[in-house]
Structure 1
Amino acid sequence: MLKITSLVKRYGSGDPVLKNLDLEIAEETVVSIIGSSGAGKSTLLRCINRLVEPTSGSIVLNGTELTTLNRAGLRGARRKIGMVFQGFNLVDRLTVMENVQSGRLGVLPTWRAVMRKYPKEDIRRAYELMERVGIARYANKRADELSGGERQRVGVVRALMQEPEILLADEPTASLDPKTSEQIMQLLRDLAREFSLPVLINIHNTTEAKEYTDRIVGMRYGRIIFDAAPEALDREAMDRIYSGTPAAERGEYTPDPSFAVAAS
């Protein structure tokens, strides 16, 4: 379970990007984060794996307080946080297998990674996962020979190779065509069930959020102003999130109590 309490992120002396944010996510739950650009969605994801350092607050993943970890502890914790990026973040000149195996860099001895001497178990696991997402036949192809959807599947497998306890996805469909976007969202939802993973997705496409996620969190100006099941995202809620009614500006919302029960 992921539990975020009173999270604040401030850059310099300006207004906080995240303002006393509270959020809990249970296993096997796919949560989408929506909101206008600048709402704090990407900053939230980056605070979780400390690509961005929180100013204050608590982030606990399965009993581990992430915000107080030293460098060595953070390296260990990041092995359990899978990340899927909008821009794929692949090494184009490397093969699909080599890109996938980079998900094991936090575990492998340095010499194995440099020499590309991957353990047989890691190779077997990689083939299993690549077969699962439909890219096993591309194992020996260079990453820059793949389509956008295929590249994103490589990114998903790379994250799963970490054996993560949570999967974070930052705009994973933004660079894809509509059909491929739906396939990737379906894949993320299915993998959450298969691996009992909480999945947190930063997404602009509200239609996909409603169709493929279990819960929608709406942010505006660094605050959560909506937290409910997808069917509750009606026109009024959309106006609050994207237009900013007075209630939204005050950060008022009524979360679905079932989520608190599920996360406890």
Structure 2
Amino acid sequence: MLKITDLVKRYDTGQPVLKNLNLEIKGESVVSIIGSSGAGKSTLLRCINRLVEPSSGQIQLNGTDLTSLNRSQLRKARHKIGMVFQSFNLIDRLTVMENVQSGRLGSLPTWRAIARKYPKEDIRRAYELMDRVGIAHYADKRADELSGGERQRVGVVRALMQEPEILLADEPTASLDPKTSEQIMGLLRDLSREFALPVLINIHNVTEAKEYTDRIVGMRYGRIIFDALPSDLDKDAMDSIYSGTPAADRGADVQQSTVSGDVGAVAT
């Protein structure tokens, strides 16, 4: 379970980007985060794996307080947090297999990583996952020879090679055409079911969020102002998320839910 409590991120200049944010995610579920640019969506994801350092608050993953870990402990903990990036973050000159195996770097001795002497079990696992997402025949192809959708599939497999406890996806379809975007969202949904893996996706495409995710979290000005089923995301909720007054400024409280099958919570 991911549990975020009173999370604040404040930069040296300006107001906090995240304001006492609370969120819980349980079990195999796909949760999307929507909101205007500047709402704090990417900052939230990057605080979870501490690519961005939180100013205060607590982030727990299956009982481990990620915010209290030192550098060595954090390196180990990050291995349990898979990350899929908008820009793919592949090494273009390396093959698909080599990029995929980079997901195992935190579990290998340094000499193996440098020499690219991957354990047979890791190679077998990589082929299984690549076959599952339809890129096994590209194993020996350089990453820069692939299409955007193929590159994103490599990124997904690389994250799964970590055997993560949660998968974070930061705008995973933003660089893709509409058809490929739907394929990637469907893939993330299906993989969440197959691996009993919670998936948290920062996404701009509300239509895809409603179709492919189990729960939608709406953010505005660093706060969660909507947290409910996709079917509950009506016009009023959309107006509140994208053009309305922040819930806190209306004197309203946001009652947030825990995903474990049914979900529900709205601004009141």
TM-score (norm 2): 0.95
Counting only pairs closer than 5 Å after superposition, residues 127-166 of structure 1 correspond to structure 2 as 127-166=127-166
Counterpart of 1:183?
A: 183
Matches of 1:256 and 1:229, distance apart in 2: 12
- Classify the secondary structure of the residue corresponding to 1:84: strand
Counting only pairs closer than 5 Å after superposition, residues 40-51 of structure 1 correspond to structure 2 as 40-51=40-51
CA shift at 1:245, angstroms? 3.2
Counterpart of 1:27?
A: 27
Counterpart of 2:96?
A: 96
- Given residue 140 of structure 2, which amino acid in structure 1 is its aligned partner? N
- Given residue 42 of structure 1, which amino acid in structure 2 is its aligned partner? S
Counting only pairs closer than 5 Å after superposition, residues 85-234 of structure 1 correspond to structure 2 as 85-234=85-234
CA shift at 1:207, angstroms? 0.1
**Any unmatched runs of 5+ in structure 2?**
264-268
Matches of 2:257 and 2:53, distance apart in 1: 30
Matches of 1:18 and 1:254, distance apart in 2: 15
Matches of 1:261 and 1:188, distance apart in 2: 18
**Any unmatched runs of 5+ in structure 1?**
none
- Given residue 198 of structure 2, which amino acid in structure 1 is its aligned partner? P
Task: Note the alpha carbon deviations across 1:12-34, whole angstroms, 9 max, x for none.
Answer: 14210000000000110100000
Matches of 2:28 and 2:188, distance apart in 1: 11
The change in CA–CA distance for 1:240 and 1:260 in structure 2 (over 3 A counts) is farther
Deviates more, 1:254-263 or 1:236-245: 254-263
TM-score (norm 1): 0.96
Counterpart of 1:235?
A: 235
CA shift at 1:244, angstroms? 1.6
Q: Please tell me whether the aligned partners of residues 29 and 259 of structure 2 are also in contact (alpha carbons under 8 angstroms).
A: no
Matches of 1:172 and 1:118, distance apart in 2: 28
Matches of 2:177 and 2:207, distance apart in 1: 14
Matches of 1:28 and 1:169, distance apart in 2: 15
Matches of 1:178 and 1:202, distance apart in 2: 17
Deviates more, 1:249-258 or 1:192-201: 249-258
Size of the aligned set, in residue pairs, is: 263
- Given residue 245 of structure 1, which amino acid in structure 2 is its aligned partner? T
CA shift at 1:247, angstroms? 4.0
Q: Please tell me whether the aligned partners of residues 103 and 159 of structure 1 are also in contact (alpha carbons under 8 angstroms).
A: yes
- Classify the secondary structure of the residue corresponding to 1:23: strand
- Given residue 185 of structure 1, which amino acid in structure 2 is its aligned partner? M
The change in CA–CA distance for 1:184 and 1:35 in structure 2 (over 3 A counts) is same
Counterpart of 1:66?
A: 66
The change in CA–CA distance for 1:241 and 1:47 in structure 2 (over 3 A counts) is same
Matches of 1:79 and 1:251, distance apart in 2: 40
Deviates more, 1:13-22 or 1:219-228: 13-22
Deviates more, 1:253-262 or 1:223-232: 253-262
